[in-house]
């Protein structure tokens, strides 16, 4: 009996120590009592805090943490970079690795790859897995997902984003956010807003119409907040309407906290805060990364010098700034605490589990896009060839590192070459680099230490009598090659790859190309190569996924989340020249307006090399005729489009059925068509299904900037059922009454 009793006590105290349910509120304090409503707990905590404690909470105490309230037992907030894996532990206030040995994480595929899956269900699993890793590592805020619109193929950070279409982004983001937050970890969607290039990101002032802002650049954020219920958002470095986005009155107060009623926290980007008054009044809640030693310049640990530290305190004390806005920030931060580290029911998380690697591999397999496949070049079954020659530095380069803040210290990363050797056997695979870049750098380009001629000679010699050549190149997350803080400088492949590919084709035409990048690249050799895959920075399971797709174990089902123009100038934003992209260093104007990506290519009749939504499979799908459930709809109705789909091939596979809408006689000019629905459909060989896709009529609206309202006009609309933005299978007309 006594033993049992002791055991009971022991369990209770273990539960309490672990922060699990059952812990009694200390001294009956409301803010610690999780049986009380959250808002009452917040008010209780707030009422106990001194002015200095409130000020301390709203700015950093280290590179990635804020202090909490030690006296009241309110925990510090621990943040970590994402969005592709939980970052390594850094020194308290520097970007240097802390040198821990327990922090090597699972690297998940880059956001571009996730977007290319067109599969919100797998986005949820991605979020759950990375959220579990963050929770295990005791992080309260994961700095991701990142979702700025792919405006040009130059943006160094496109690989961290989810493509050019606001609808696709809006379907993928909420799932990721929910998955992360199930772990008691806040997702921090970033970078709000209009941070569509890295060139001059710290100060460029973006001029954009309200229409483009609402139709193109905001929907992903809005969906992350209203549908994903994201608990945090990061303000971006750039300016909008002359004011830094991080403390931009319109973006934060009017739109985010006004129109969308966001009740979470706005966190600055690292060093994006510039002014105490604006930060105080324009909706910034937490200031991070303002330059103190360990970041860029100025004094060591000078956190009290932050704009939202002593200067703010003084202005409250002398009455220049109100207490009410400070209290609003603190309430939001307390809400963040209660949702994360003060939630006694949150799970413990888990780290580098087999399940996490499975998620990473599945996302990778589902995201790879097969762009060209003459004469069924792919798949290459095991045993078909004796000599498979692999050429290209990206076959061996570990690409989870590099690229800036999203880099991951990986517990394991299987390279494409390792994956291929594992798949086909070491006696079948022959490798040579072919070209070489420099060491991974950030903020400056490095020189290649290799002799390009001898690398090429070796590659040509090896390729000559190969049964098949697999070229694995692309960009590599080095500075100017898909990397934070610098855009790409040209559209062609770097390090002499275009010439190398042409020369290789002269000695062996049986060559498949695998481009690893987060951006479209020029492909002057396209007509000469039989097969091409667009791959991405795939993380831990790069090699396994790549080999599975190449060998046919996995059937590619990725679809491009952005258009690949033939030439840079064919991209809408870039076609208008310097003032549109990248601007004159002070200002830039989004001259293509709402015609971003395929909206531009379609409307201006400038065909892309590969259109948005495009991707092949190892099987073929047959579409029947699309139909709508009615002929006419009211504005609150939901249109159901049905289309019969069958898998006509001999392997199972997935098709992404896409619905694009065109309005007949809009009062304002509209793009030729816009994505309004999609569904990824998995079918066994010979299987048929009626695919049903719902489109709420309100989603057919355009944003009327004069009226500042979303408008659905009483008009005829055509709904195109398509396999890409240019491959329309059948169309159906409906009337909005
Ligand atoms: C990046 C953010 C990142 C932060 C912290 C900034 O430079 O823009 O995306 O989360 O640093 O590393």
* CATH number of the domain where residue 408 is located: 3.40.50.1700
For residue 175, being part of any structural domain is answered with no
Give nearest CA residue, ligand 1 atom 5. 270
Ligand 1 mean position to 227 CA, how many Å? 24
For residue 497, being part of any structural domain is answered with yes
The reply to whether 536 and 642 lie within a common domain is no
Sign of CA dihedral 93, 94, 99, 104: positive
The tens digit of pLDDT for each residue in 665-693 reads 999 999 999 999 999 999 999 999 999 99
Is pLDDT at 24 greater than 60 in this prediction? no
Grade residue 292 by pLDDT with cuts at 50, 70 and 90. Answer: low
The tens digit of pLDDT for each residue in 195-213 reads 999 999 999 999 999 999 9
Q: Of 269, 487, 570, 699, which residue is the catalytic one?
A: 269
Interval 332-356 mean pLDDT: 98
Of 536, 560, 584, the residue at which a domain comes to its end is 560
The tens digit of pLDDT for each residue in 501-515 reads 999 999 999 999 999
Q: What is the number of domains present in the chain?
A: 2
What integer pLDDT is reported at residue 579 of this predicted model? 98
For residue 234, being part of any structural domain is answered with no
Residue with tokens 């897995």: 129
Ligand 1 mean position to 78 CA, how many Å? 15
Interval 249-270 mean pLDDT: 98
Average pLDDT over the chain reads 95
Is pLDDT at 113 greater than 60 in this prediction? yes
Give nearest CA residue, ligand 1 atom 9. 405
Is pLDDT at 495 greater than 80 in this prediction? yes
Of 526, 560, 594, the residue at which a domain comes to its end is 560
Ligand 1 mean position to 53 CA, how many Å? 26
Whether pTM exceeds 0.85 = yes
Paired tokens of 296:
């860029």
Interval 216-240 mean pLDDT: 98
Q: Which residues contact 330 (CB under 8 A, 6 or more apart)?
A: 46, 49, 54, 57, 58
For strand 388-391 and strand 429-432, is the pairing parallel, antiparallel, or unpaired? Answer: parallel
The reply to whether 426 and 500 lie within a common domain is yes
675 to each of 371, 654, 686, 713, 718, how far by Cα in Å?
20, 19, 28, 18, 12
What integer pLDDT is reported at residue 369 of this predicted model? 99
Is pLDDT at 325 greater than 50 in this prediction? yes
The reply to whether 651 and 507 lie within a common domain is no
If residue 516 lies in a helix (H) or strand (E), which one and from where to where? Answer: strand 511-516
Grade residue 18 by pLDDT with cuts at 50, 70 and 90. Answer: very low
Residue 594, burial from CB neighbour count under 10 angstroms (0-12, 13-18, 19+): buried
Ligand 1 mean position to 63 CA, how many Å? 11
Grade residue 6 by pLDDT with cuts at 50, 70 and 90. Answer: very low
The reply to whether 547 and 631 lie within a common domain is no
Instruction: Output the DSSP codes for 53-114.
Output: HHHHHTB-SSSSEE--BGGGTBPPEEEEE-SSSPPPPB-TTSSSB---SS--BPPPPPHHHH
516 to each of 118, 250, 417, 476, 559, how far by Cα in Å?
19, 38, 13, 8, 15
Of 235, 443, 484, best ligand 1 pocket probe by most atoms within 8 Å of the beta carbon: 484
> 321 near 311, Cβ under 8 Å?
no
For residue 396, being part of any structural domain is answered with yes
Is pLDDT at 422 greater than 50 in this prediction? yes
What lines the ligand 1 site, CB under 6 Å? 81, 143, 190, 269-270, 405
Q: Which residue, among 301, 326, 300, has the nearest Cα to 313 in the 3D structure?
A: 326
**Percent of the chain scoring above 90 in pLDDT:** 93
Is pLDDT at 22 greater than 60 in this prediction? no
Q: Which atom of ligand 1 is nearest to the CA of 82?
A: 10
What integer pLDDT is reported at residue 417 of this predicted model? 99
The tens digit of pLDDT for each residue in 561-600 reads 999 999 999 999 999 999 999 999 999 999 999 999 999 9
> 333 near 58, Cβ under 8 Å?
yes
> 80 near 86, Cβ under 8 Å?
yes
Paired tokens of 381:
């079954």
The tens digit of pLDDT for each residue in 74-89 reads 999 999 999 999 999 9
Ligand 1 mean position to 279 CA, how many Å? 18
Grade residue 444 by pLDDT with cuts at 50, 70 and 90. Answer: confident
Q: Which residues contact 193 (CB under 8 A, 6 or more apart)?
A: 148, 213, 217, 218, 221, 236, 240, 245, 251
What integer pLDDT is reported at residue 302 of this predicted model? 87
Question: 710 is in which domain, residue-wise?
Answer: 621-736
> 33 near 43, Cβ under 8 Å?
no
CA distance 267 to 193: 13
Grade residue 616 by pLDDT with cuts at 50, 70 and 90. Answer: very high
269 is catalytic: yes
What integer pLDDT is reported at residue 560 of this predicted model? 99
Ligand 1 mean position to 288 CA, how many Å? 10
Give nearest CA residue, ligand 1 atom 3. 405
Ligand 1 mean position to 190 CA, how many Å? 9
Buried b (16+ CB within 10 A) or exposed e, 369-394: bbbbbeeebbbbeeeebeebbbbbbb
> 244 near 272, Cβ under 8 Å?
yes
Of 269, 295, 408, best ligand 1 pocket probe by most atoms within 8 Å of the beta carbon: 269
For residue 346, being part of any structural domain is answered with no
What integer pLDDT is reported at residue 28 of this predicted model? 80
Intra-chain end-to-end CA distance of the chain, in Å: 75
Grade residue 1 by pLDDT with cuts at 50, 70 and 90. Answer: very low
Give nearest CA residue, ligand 1 atom 12. 405
Give nearest CA residue, ligand 1 atom 4. 270
What integer pLDDT is reported at residue 442 of this predicted model? 85
What integer pLDDT is reported at residue 7 of this predicted model? 33
Q: Which atom of ligand 1 is nearest to the CA of 195?
A: 8
What integer pLDDT is reported at residue 26 of this predicted model? 56
The reply to whether 454 and 536 lie within a common domain is yes
Of 188, 405, 408, best ligand 1 pocket probe by most atoms within 8 Å of the beta carbon: 405
For residue 477, being part of any structural domain is answered with yes
The reply to whether 539 and 629 lie within a common domain is no
- β-bridge mates for residue 728, sequence order: 722
Helices (runs of H) and strands (runs of E) counted in the chain? 18, 27
Of 543, 560, 577, the residue at which a domain comes to its end is 560
For residue 252, being part of any structural domain is answered with no
Q: Which residues contact 673 (CB under 8 A, 6 or more apart)?
A: 602, 660, 661, 662, 720, 725
Q: Which atom of ligand 1 is nearest to the CA of 236?
A: 8
Interval 312-317 mean pLDDT: 98
CATH number at residue 707: 2.60.40.10
Classified as helix, coil or strand, 348 is coil
What integer pLDDT is reported at residue 446 of this predicted model? 84
For residue 342, being part of any structural domain is answered with no
């Amino acid at each position: 009996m006594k033993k049992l009793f002791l055991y009971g006590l022991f369990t209770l105290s273990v539960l309490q120590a672990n922060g699990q349910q059952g812990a009694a509120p200390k001294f009956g304090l409301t803010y610690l009592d999780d049986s009380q409503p959250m808002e009452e707990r917040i008010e209780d905590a707030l009422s106990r805090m001194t002015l200095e404690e409130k000020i301390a909470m709203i700015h950093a105490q280290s590179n990635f943490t804020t202090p909490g309230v030690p006296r009241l037992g309110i925990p510090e907030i621990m943040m970590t970079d994402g969005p592709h894996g939980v970052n390594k532990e850094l020194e308290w206030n520097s970007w240097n690795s802390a040198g821990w040995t327990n922090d090597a994480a699972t690297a998940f595929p880059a956001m571009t790859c996730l977007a290319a899956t067109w599969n919100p269900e797998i986005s949820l699993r991605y979020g759950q897995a990375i959220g579990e890793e963050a929770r295990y590592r005791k992080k309260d805020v994961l700095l991701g997902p990142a979702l700025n619109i792919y405006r040009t193929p130059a943006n160094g950070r496109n690989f961290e984003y989810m493509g050019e279409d606001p609808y696709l982004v809006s379907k993928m983001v909420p799932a990721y956010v929910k998955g992360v937050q199930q772990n008691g970890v806040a997702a921090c969607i970033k970078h709000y807003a209009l941070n569509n290039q890295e060139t001059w990101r710290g100060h460029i002032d973006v001029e954009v119409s309200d229409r483009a802002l609402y139709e193109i650049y905001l929907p992903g954020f809005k969906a992350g907040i209203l549908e994903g219920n994201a608990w945090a958002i990061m303000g971006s470095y750039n300016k909008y309407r002359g004011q830094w986005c991080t403390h931009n009155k319109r973006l934060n107060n009017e739109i985010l906290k006004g129109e969308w009623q966001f009740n979470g926290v706005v966190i600055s980007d690292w060093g994006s805060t510039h002014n105490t008054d604006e930060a105080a009044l324009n909706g910034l809640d937490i200031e991070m990364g303002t330059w103190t030693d360990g970041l860029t310049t100025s004094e060591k640990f000078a956190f009290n010098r932050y704009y939202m530290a002593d200067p703010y305190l003084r202005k409250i004390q002398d009455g220049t700034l109100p207490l009410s806005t400070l209290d609003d920030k603190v309430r939001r931060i307390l809400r963040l605490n209660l949702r994360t580290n003060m939630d006694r029911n949150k799970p413990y998380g888990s780290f580098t589990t087999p399940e996490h690697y499975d998620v990473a591999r599945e996302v990778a397999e589902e995201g790879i896009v097969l762009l060209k496949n003459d004469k069924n070049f792919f798949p290459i079954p095991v045993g078909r060839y004796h000599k498979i020659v692999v050429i290209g530095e990206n076959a061996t380069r570990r690409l989870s590192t590099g690229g800036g803040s999203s880099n991951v210290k990986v517990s394991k990363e299987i390279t494409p070459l390792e994956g291929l050797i594992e798949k086909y056997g070491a006696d079948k695979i022959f490798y040579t680099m072919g070209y070489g870049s420099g060491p991974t750098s950030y903020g400056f380009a490095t020189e290649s230490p290799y002799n390009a001629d001898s690398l090429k000679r070796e590659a040509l010699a090896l390729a000559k009598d190969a049964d098949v050549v697999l070229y694995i190149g692309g960009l590599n997350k080095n500075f100017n090659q898909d990397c934070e803080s610098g855009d790409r400088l040209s559209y062609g492949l770097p390090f002499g790859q275009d010439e190398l590919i042409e020369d290789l084709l002269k000695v062996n035409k049986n060559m498949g190309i695998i481009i690893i990048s987060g951006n479209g690249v020029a492909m002057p050799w396209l007509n000469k190569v039989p097969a091409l895959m667009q791959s991405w920075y795939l993380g831990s399971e790069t090699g396994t996924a790549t080999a599975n797709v190449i060998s046919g174990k996995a059937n590619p089902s990725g679809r491009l989340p952005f258009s690949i123009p033939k030439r840079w100038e064919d991209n809408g934003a870039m076609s208008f020249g310097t003032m549109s992209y990248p601007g004159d260093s002070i200002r830039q104007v989004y001259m293509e307006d709402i015609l971003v990506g395929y909206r531009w290519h379609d409307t201006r009749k400038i065909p892309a090399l590969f259109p948005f939504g495009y991707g092949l499979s190892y099987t073929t799908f047959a579409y029947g005729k699309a139909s709508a459930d009615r002929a006419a709809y009211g504005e609150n109705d939901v249109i159901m489009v049905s289309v019969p789909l069958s898998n006509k091939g001999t392997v199972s596979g997935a098709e992404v059925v896409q619905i694009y809408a065109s309005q007949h006689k809009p009062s304002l000019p509209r793009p030729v068509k816009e994505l309004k629905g999609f569904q990824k459909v998995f079918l066994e060989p010979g299987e048929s299904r009626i695919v049903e896709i719902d489109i709420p009529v309100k989603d057919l609206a355009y944003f009327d900037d004069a009226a500042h309202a979303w408008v659905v006009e009483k008009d005829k609309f055509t709904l195109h059922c398509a396999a890409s933005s240019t491959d329309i299978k059948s169309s159906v007309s409906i009337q909005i009454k």
